[in-house]
Amino acid sequence: MLPVPKPALDPHVVFDTCTATAKPLTARTRLQALKDTVAKAATEYDTAATNQALHTLTHLQDEPDGKPDKTGGLNAQLKKTYTSRMVHKKSSGRGFYDQLLAGAPDGRCALCGHGIADTLDHQLPKTSYPLLAVTPANLVPACRDCNFYKGEQAPVSANKQTLHPYYDGQVHDHVWLFARIVGPPKPGVSFYASPPPDMPPLLAARIRHHFTKLRLARLYNPQAGPELRYLSRSLRQLTPEAIADHLQERAENWTAIEGPNSWQAALYRALASDVWYTTGGYKEACT
């Protein structure tokens, strides 16, 4: 996960702009009457997200209709406010969509840190929480894979909530992403999440859930292959005594640039500490 500053957008203004041109007029009138209700829900969301407690917002589920979609109901109109009045390129709210998407660090998905951020993910799904369909803090720049894997299931408990890039930057105060070197005969890599004992238990559980739910091992493992083949050639230019120090330096550089839980930092930490790899195993990557 990549920490992202919380959007400096007023939920009231965003909702007002997105619904101000809604058609027909009857739908616009009904939606505009919900401005204060939506703003109140956004405030509750901010408090819950700050306290890692989005699962406690069940009283907002299926509101304002009080039940899942019905044709022509307010819930359907609220979801349309996102799909037709924010996402659509000629819609009144498209500027907000583009601004939120532009918050992606280097254009990368905030959930996995690797894929291209070409969509916005609803942290609480709009299917269950239509009042939050265009709430800026609920919309995170993400890749399509993470959006798909996360799905539209709302968190049912505190430890079944994925990490939130706007609120959970403290997860990188700890090292929890690791890589395991596999070999001989050839070096391979397997990534895994292992929060340290001094991490708050709830945060540790959410890290494990995030890593599993978004299938990050499946994403990170293949990235190591080209890196190992590159190293197989470049490390031959160093003396055996210098290899571990060189890899450790790379681990520190990646930590400084991308954070301690980037797949690159985890990879180089593992390589630097693996005796088989540093004493000759690296040569086998290209054989």
For residues 147 and 121, the answer to whether their CB atoms sit within 8 Å is yes
- Give me the chain's average pLDDT, please: 95
d(CA 148, CA 158) in angstroms, rounded, equals: 21
For residues 110 and 2, the answer to whether their CB atoms sit within 8 Å is yes
| The residue to which tokens 């349309």 are assigned | 80
- pLDDT average, residue stretch 125-148: 97
Going by C-alpha positions, the residue among 80, 100, 88, 98 that lies closest to residue 31 is 80
Half-sphere exposure of residue 81: CA atoms within 13 angstroms, side-chain side? 33
Beta pairing, strands 177-182 & 119-122: unpaired
pLDDT of residue 194: 98
The H or E element spanning position 109 is none
Given a cut of 90, whether residue 265 has pLDDT beyond it is yes
- State what percent of residues in the chain have pLDDT above 90: 93
Q: How confident is the model at residue 70 (pLDDT cuts 50, 70, 90)?
A: low
Given a cut of 80, whether residue 253 has pLDDT beyond it is yes
- pLDDT average, residue stretch 85-89: 96
Given a cut of 90, whether residue 69 has pLDDT beyond it is no
| The residue to which tokens 């509101």 are assigned | 63
- pLDDT average, residue stretch 136-152: 97
Task: Give 213-251 pLDDT, tens digit per residue.
Answer: 999 999 999 999 999 999 999 999 999 889 999 999 999
d(CA 107, CA 111) in angstroms, rounded, equals: 12
d(CA 190, CA 211) in angstroms, rounded, equals: 13
pLDDT of residue 287: 65
pLDDT of residue 9: 97
Calculated CA dihedral for residues 16, 18, 21, 23, nearest 10 degrees: -110
pLDDT of residue 183: 85
d(CA 64, CA 34) in angstroms, rounded, equals: 9
